[in-house]
Structure 1
Amino acid sequence: MYISKIDIKGFRIFKNTEVILNDGINVIIGHNNAGKTNLIKALLLVIDYQESKRLEIDDFNKNALLSDLQLSPPEITIQLTISQSKNENLNSDDLVTVSNWLTKLKAPYEAVLTYKFFLPEREKARYLKDVAAATDSNQVWHIVEHEFIRLYTYKIFCGDIKLQTTADSESLQKFDFQFLDAIRDVQRDMFTGKNALLKEVLDFFMDYEIKSDTTKVDADKTSEIKQKKSDFSNKANDLLKDLQLRMKNGKDQILSYTDNTGASFNKSNPNFEGSISDVEMFSALKLIVEYETGIKIPATHNGLGYNNLIYISLLLAKMQVNSDGKYLGSNAKVFSILAIEEPEAHLHPAMQYKFLNFLKENIQTSKKVRQIFITSHSTHITSTVSLDELICIHNENGDAKVGYPGKVFTDDAEGKKSKEYVQRFLDATKSDMLFAQKVILVEGLAEQLTISTFAAYIQKSLEDRHIVVINIGGRYFEHFLKIFDTLFTYTIPKKIACITDRDPERKAKANQIFTMCYPFEFNEDVTTYDYKDNASDSIIKYQNHPNIRFFSQDSREGKTLEYDLMLKNPTLDLIITSTTKNKSELKTLMTHYQNNSPLTDFISCLRASNENDRLVKSINANTSWNDNEKKKAIIASRYLNSVGKGENALELSYLLKENLKSGNSVGFEVPIYIQEAINWICQ
């Protein structure tokens, strides 16, 4: 069995949220304050019998309308659906454990547990009277906190909630929920034999070669272990007698003071005696780490990351102990769950990879743990697990929404292709798109390096708004938009801006292949050529979409980012970097533009080349553009053909940042389509 679903109503950030869970590993991700920890807390409230079930006023979701609060008192409901696993044996203890909770008897069976935190019925009339005159919801919450929260109670119901059947504590205690939170002190929690966790684990695994010997019957195992315990006790008694002899004179000296203090009143005298068992001897042990060189150091002297891994290992061992029916009898656990909050807090990326792979292997083979929940901000962890194991929580305006990156793709060839591409693509850098509040998708490195700087020029901060720029390495937007398109189910409702180059193209009507062309060549000879551009279809498709937009250069004059940079800044030599070719020619063109020189001067300063011959021929053939448009187009075309992508963008971004920092900064105009994209995503 496994927990297949959790429905949360009225609890913290969850107004009314359903979360579908995996049989196995669940990696819960999202931006800060999305609700990841609250989801684990909701699970704990239902199935961790050691967790406090009472809640406070701030545990309520306070997005309720005043009218709703005046109709009935607020309450919190958390419902778990427990389902049959794929290869589960129906004769196992799983079905016995949940038999009283079943809501669906046919395979695959389903059982339900419901936690409710509510105001008792007898108090409702007074509540309704007290809140009737409230003018806003804050007044109601104030009344609840000061007059009614102490009267609230909780119950855990099983099966059909309408029947109001209370779940028995014995069955609930069959669940073993181990939670390792992000703020943890593992040194306090383990590392000496006096600690209950380590002591319990050591006790279980002592004489393990006998306990795990499948060739022996249980009676022989018990007898052999009993004999070992007796032998140890005899040896320990001899040691204690030796101590008594060594302490005889000293003890007499210590006890001589009892006569003077009156402690030997009524002929009673203190003495030292005792015995020690093998279990009690654990208190003398402490956890150490021994290196290959033979050096031994206490585990308390290790780094936090290393100690966290040791502690998790002990937790897994403890869960094996808890589930062993021969050791614990009827007290043994049936279903083991491990929840770890932010494992990356103390682990560097390589150890995160290793740790996740270990957990996967554990759940697939040894099955010490049946279901695992991990909350994380780590892109390294998301790049290690599959899309199907990811659950993404997104909080917009205080209401948590849930997306499932692995479920958004269709089962047809196109859907499978997209899923495979995204799975390969989501490395430790690109998976930032799953954590950010909003996302800008761009085609290449140039946009990735410069967009944030461009935003600063129009007084916007992407970082302050938790917006990331993701380079998807080409025109592969549709693969990724499947994850975020809110017109479909299971998607993550983030705002997505896609910035794509216009890239006009043409082909001779007799040919099959389109080739790039300049904007001043586009649609100029429809008799000879067919024309298209990269951006128009996507812009039209998403122009009214609720959370996705496409942005590109002007349909008439636009081509690429580099082209538009010069088109918008035809006299700004700041954008000519050290890696730019043809610097002298470009600066001459800029001077001509600044001096309003005739078009012939622009053409005459172009050096001889095949590409420049094409440029001049096309400019002269164009009859729809005026001379000023042609002048800017010549400068932009030469700039485009003179810069590389990544190196130039990196240097350009640096120069623009330094220019912005200077008190007398040179004016730089951000291309219009970039401004539009940034303004829209920042709304």
Structure 2
Amino acid sequence: MYISNIEIENYRNFRNKSIILSDGMNVIIGQNNAGKTNLIKALALVLDSNGKKRLDIHDFNKSISLEELKSAPPKIRIRMTIKQSDNEDLDSDDLVTVANWLTKLEEPYEATLTYEFHLPEKEVEKYAASLASVVDVDKAWRIIQQDFLRLYIYKIWGGNIDNQTVADSESLKKFDFQFLDAIRDVERDMLSGRNTLLRDVLDFFMDYDIKSDHTRTPKEKIHEIKLKKQSFTDAADALLLNLSERMKLGKEQILSYAMDTGASFNKAEPNFEGVISDVELFSALKLIVEYESGIKIPATHNGLGYNNLIYMSLLLSKMQVNSDGGYLGSNAKVFPILAIEEPEAHLHPAMQYQLLKFLTKNKKDKKVRQIFVTTHSTQITSTVSLDEMICLHNERGETSVGYPGIVFKDNEKSKKYVQRFLDATKSDMLFAQKVVLVEGIAEQLLLPIMARYLGVSFEENHIAVINVGGRYFEHFLYLFNLSNPYAIHKKIACITDRDPERKKKTKGGSYSKCYPYEYGLQEDLYEYKRNPSFNLYPRDAYSNIAIFSQDETAGKTFEYDFVLHNPSLELLVTNSMKNQDEIKELMRLFSSDTELSEYEQILRESDENKRIKESINMNCSWEKDQKVKGLIASRYLNSVGKGENALELAYVLADNLDKKGTADYQEFTVPNYIKEAISWIIQ
């Protein structure tokens, strides 16, 4: 069995939300305050037998309106559906555990547990009278806190809630819910044998060679372990006797003070005596780390990340102890659940990957049945499958849930593509508040700097720029297309190049790049097309997705448009470019009233430059100014090496921006389509 669904009503940031859960690993991701920890705590309210069940006023969702508060006392409800797993053995203890909570008898069976924190019915009339004249919602909450919260009660119902059947505590205790929160002191919790976690684990695994030997009968195992315990006790008694002999004279001296103070009376005298068992001696043990060289150091001297891993391994060992029926009898747990908040704390990327492998192996070995992990780590999300992710997103106080695996239900091709390319860098799209998808490294490096020229900070607006490595937006946009109920609710801007192309109409011709001023010129000889990505998601058809590209007539690529909007800005000519002097000469000429032929004379002789001149002169629909800009932009584009040039441009533009307000600052114009994209994404 497994927890297949949890419905959370009026708890913290969840107004009314149903969340689908996986049988196995569940990785819960999202930006800060999206509700990741609250989801884990909601699970704990139902399943953690040792956890706090009473709530306070701040656990209620505060978006409940005044009218709702007046009509009925606020109630927190968490309903959990437990479902039969695939290939589950119906003779196991699973079905027995949930038998009284069944809501569906046919396979796969389903059972329900519901936690409620509510005001008893007898107090409702008094509550309504107290809030009848209240006109302010904050005052209503104060009245609830001061006059009624202490009267609230909690119940955990089993089965159909309409039957009001309280779930029996013995069955609830069969769930072993272990939660490691983000703020944990592993040194306090595990490193000494005085701690119950380490002591219980040591006690269970002591004499494990006997306990795990399937060739012995239970009776034989008990007999052999008793012999070992007796042998230890005899040896311990001898040690204590030796200690007593060594203390004999000293003891008389110590006790003489007791006699003098009157501690001895009525013929009774204080003395020293004791026995020690193997379990009691655990308090003398301390966890150490022994290196290959033979050096031993206390675990307290380890880094926090290393100790976190040790602690998790001990906790899973403890869960194995708890579920062992031979050891605990009828007190054994049936369903161990591990919840970890931010396991990446203090772990470098390689150790995060190792941790995920470790948890997956424990699930496969059935040492834990279901795992819940909350994380901010892109390393972890790049390791797990899309089916194991749950994405929480909070927009203006409203929490939404997305499922990267389910969203691709009818598109296996895109699912495989995204799974393959969702590396640690691209995974940032799952955490950011808003996302800009771009085609290449140049846009990724330069977009945040251009935003700064417009007075916008991507960091302050929690916007991530993700390079998808080409025209592959469609695969990723499935994640965010809100026409799918499982999509991630997030605002996405895509920036793509127009990339005009043409091909000869002769048989076997193929498309090749062309210049904007060539587009449509010779329709008798060529077929033309532009990047179709721009039309994938029409601007008015989707509230959260928009695609931006250059001007349909004059646009070509990102670098081309840079110079199209800044035809005289020599700052854009970087050291890695070819033809630097030629391009700077063209740029200097732009500010003067010069004929097109003079620009053409600057171009060195080459087949490509000949093509540029012929095409520009053939175009009769463009004005001179358009042609000059197109010529300079074409020459610039043909002279850049994209990766290195982008790095240099990022440096010079950032440096120029730092000079703003001084005589050294040079005016830079952000291309129009980039302005539109930035303006749209920050709205």
TM-score range, shorter chain: over 0.9
**Offset of residue 603 of structure 1:** 1.1
* 2:546 maps to 1:549: yes
Counterpart in 1 of 2:188?
188
Counterpart in 1 of 2:15?
15
Aligned counterparts of 1:537 and 1:666: Cα–Cα separation in 2: 32
Counterpart in 2 of 1:371?
370
State the AA in 2 paired with 1:403: G
Aligned counterparts of 1:581 and 1:537: Cα–Cα separation in 2: 31
Q: For residues 367-406 of structure 1, what are the structure 2 equivalents within 5 Å?
A: 367-406=366-405
Aligned counterparts of 1:598 and 1:539: Cα–Cα separation in 2: 41
> Do the aligned residues in 1 keep the contact of 2:496 with 2:533 (CA within 8 Å)?
no
- Gaps of at least 5 residues in structure 2 are none
* 2:55 maps to 1:55: yes
Counterpart in 2 of 1:91?
91
> Do the aligned residues in 2 keep the contact of 1:3 with 1:83 (CA within 8 Å)?
yes
**Offset of residue 509 of structure 1:** 2.5
**Offset of residue 66 of structure 1:** 2.1
Aligned counterparts of 2:172 and 2:194: Cα–Cα separation in 1: 29
SS of structure 2 residue aligned to 1:651? helix
Q: For residues 118-133 of structure 1, what are the structure 2 equivalents within 5 Å?
A: 118-133=118-133
* 2:641 maps to 1:659: no
State the AA in 2 paired with 1:515: S
Q: Structure 1 length normalisation: TM-score?
A: 0.98
Aligned counterparts of 1:632 and 1:671: Cα–Cα separation in 2: 13
CA spacing shift, 1:539–1:216, aligned 2, 3 Å: closer
Aligned counterparts of 1:524 and 1:60: Cα–Cα separation in 2: 66
* 2:32 maps to 1:36: no
RMSD, matched Cα? 1.1
Range that drifts further, 593-602 or 442-451: 593-602
Deviation per residue, 1:504-541 (Å, 9 max, x gap): 11222235422111111112222322222115752663
State the AA in 1 paired with 2:386: L
- Gaps of at least 5 residues in structure 1 are none
State the AA in 2 paired with 1:521: E
1:453 to 449, 455, 462: 449
* 2:428 maps to 1:432: yes
> Do the aligned residues in 2 keep the contact of 1:84 with 1:110 (CA within 8 Å)?
yes
Range that drifts further, 463-472 or 122-131: 122-131
Counterpart in 2 of 1:235?
235
Q: Aligned pairs, how many? A: 679
Aligned counterparts of 1:295 and 1:410: Cα–Cα separation in 2: 54
Counterpart in 1 of 2:573?
576
Q: For residues 245-260 of structure 1, what are the structure 2 equivalents within 5 Å?
A: 245-260=245-260
Deviation per residue, 1:127-152 (Å, 9 max, x gap): 22222223242232222122221111
Aligned counterparts of 2:69 and 2:526: Cα–Cα separation in 1: 67
Counterpart in 2 of 1:143?
143
State the AA in 2 paired with 1:10: N
SS of structure 1 residue aligned to 2:605? coil
Q: For residues 219-368 of structure 1, what are the structure 2 equivalents within 5 Å?
A: 219-364=219-364, 366-368=365-367
SS of structure 2 residue aligned to 1:336? strand
Counterpart in 2 of 1:491?
487
Aligned counterparts of 1:629 and 1:191: Cα–Cα separation in 2: 74
2:477 to 468, 476, 481: 481
Aligned counterparts of 2:581 and 2:333: Cα–Cα separation in 1: 79
SS of structure 1 residue aligned to 2:89? coil
Counterpart in 2 of 1:642?
639
State the AA in 2 paired with 1:456: R
* 2:626 maps to 1:629: yes
Aligned counterparts of 2:359 and 2:533: Cα–Cα separation in 1: 47
Deviation per residue, 1:21-45 (Å, 9 max, x gap): 1111111111111110000000000
**Offset of residue 15 of structure 1:** 0.7
Counterpart in 2 of 1:441?
437
**Offset of residue 263 of structure 1:** 0.5
SS of structure 2 residue aligned to 1:541? coil
Aligned counterparts of 1:371 and 1:176: Cα–Cα separation in 2: 11
CA spacing shift, 1:655–1:326, aligned 2, 3 Å: same
> Do the aligned residues in 2 keep the contact of 1:501 with 1:535 (CA within 8 Å)?
no
Deviation per residue, 1:561-611 (Å, 9 max, x gap): 111110100111111111121111111111111112111111111110000
* 2:557 maps to 1:533: no
> Do the aligned residues in 2 keep the contact of 1:394 with 1:400 (CA within 8 Å)?
yes
Counterpart in 2 of 1:200?
200
SS of structure 1 residue aligned to 2:631? helix
Aligned counterparts of 2:378 and 2:469: Cα–Cα separation in 1: 18
State the AA in 2 paired with 1:177: F
> Do the aligned residues in 2 keep the contact of 1:539 with 1:549 (CA within 8 Å)?
no
SS of structure 2 residue aligned to 1:117? strand
**Offset of residue 644 of structure 1:** 1.2
> Do the aligned residues in 1 keep the contact of 2:471 with 2:533 (CA within 8 Å)?
no
Deviation per residue, 1:48-107 (Å, 9 max, x gap): 011101111111111122222221111111011000110110010000000001000111
SS of structure 1 residue aligned to 2:406? coil
> Do the aligned residues in 1 keep the contact of 2:25 with 2:360 (CA within 8 Å)?
yes
> Do the aligned residues in 2 keep the contact of 1:394 with 1:401 (CA within 8 Å)?
yes
Range that drifts further, 536-545 or 2-11: 536-545
Aligned counterparts of 2:209 and 2:573: Cα–Cα separation in 1: 74
Deviation per residue, 1:394-418 (Å, 9 max, x gap): 111112111110111134xxx1111
Aligned counterparts of 2:217 and 2:299: Cα–Cα separation in 1: 38
SS of structure 2 residue aligned to 1:51? coil
State the AA in 2 paired with 1:635: I
SS of structure 2 residue aligned to 1:402? strand
**Offset of residue 542 of structure 1:** 3.9
Calculate percent identity across the aligned residue pairs: 63
State the AA in 2 paired with 1:288: I
Aligned counterparts of 2:138 and 2:524: Cα–Cα separation in 1: 70
> Do the aligned residues in 1 keep the contact of 2:537 with 2:545 (CA within 8 Å)?
no
Aligned counterparts of 2:362 and 2:153: Cα–Cα separation in 1: 39
* 2:419 maps to 1:423: yes
Aligned counterparts of 1:596 and 1:138: Cα–Cα separation in 2: 68
Aligned counterparts of 1:315 and 1:615: Cα–Cα separation in 2: 70
Aligned counterparts of 2:191 and 2:593: Cα–Cα separation in 1: 80
Aligned counterparts of 2:127 and 2:652: Cα–Cα separation in 1: 64
Aligned counterparts of 1:183 and 1:445: Cα–Cα separation in 2: 37
Aligned counterparts of 1:349 and 1:636: Cα–Cα separation in 2: 43
State the AA in 1 paired with 2:208: Y
State the AA in 1 paired with 2:499: D
**Offset of residue 648 of structure 1:** 0.5
State the AA in 1 paired with 2:30: G
Aligned counterparts of 1:330 and 1:589: Cα–Cα separation in 2: 87
> Do the aligned residues in 2 keep the contact of 1:543 with 1:550 (CA within 8 Å)?
no
Aligned counterparts of 2:673 and 2:193: Cα–Cα separation in 1: 66
Aligned counterparts of 1:141 and 1:456: Cα–Cα separation in 2: 43
Counterpart in 2 of 1:605?
602
CA spacing shift, 1:540–1:83, aligned 2, 3 Å: closer
State the AA in 1 paired with 2:184: R
Counterpart in 2 of 1:680?
680
SS of structure 2 residue aligned to 1:273? coil
